[in-house]
Amino acid sequence: MISALWKYTKISRLGEYSFERVESLESYCQHTSVAQVVFVIMVIPVPSLLLSLLVECIPLQDPAGGWEINVGAYLRFCCIVSSGALGSIVQLRTVIQISDLAT
């Protein structure tokens, strides 16, 4: 039971691809235009770049004032950590289907 669950949730398959994944990749390569591929490559980094720019807009206070008044550093830290955690959760949810683990 536990070993079957471990094998099911194992993310790395040591280079093995299922037939369905290879078939869907082949279909994607045949039916997708170059313009669409370039568009996807250009659009994917936009949210990360926008978040980085927004974090850089948060002003930092003088470090000589101590940790009590340096709210900007804490706000930057919270934004970066929460976005990293959210990204990790979203990626894990797409890799591991939670509903399949319950059965």
Question: Model confidence over 7-57: pLDDT tens digits?
Answer: 666 655 566 667 788 888 889 889 999 999 999 999 999 999 999 999 999
Is the pTM above the cut of 0.85?
Answer: no
Domain count, the chain: 1
For residue 99, pLDDT over 80 is answered with no
Which amino acid, residue 86?
L
CB 80 within 8 A of CB 54: no
Write down the pLDDT at residue 39: 93
How far is residue 87's CA from residue 51's CA, in Å, rounded to a whole number? Answer: 12
Write down the pLDDT at residue 96: 77
In this structure, what token pair is assigned to residue 56?
A: 């850089």
Residue 64 located in a structural domain:
yes
Residue 66 located in a structural domain:
yes
Report residue 101's pLDDT band, with 50, 70 and 90 as the boundaries: low
Residue 97 located in a structural domain:
yes
Residue 102 located in a structural domain:
yes
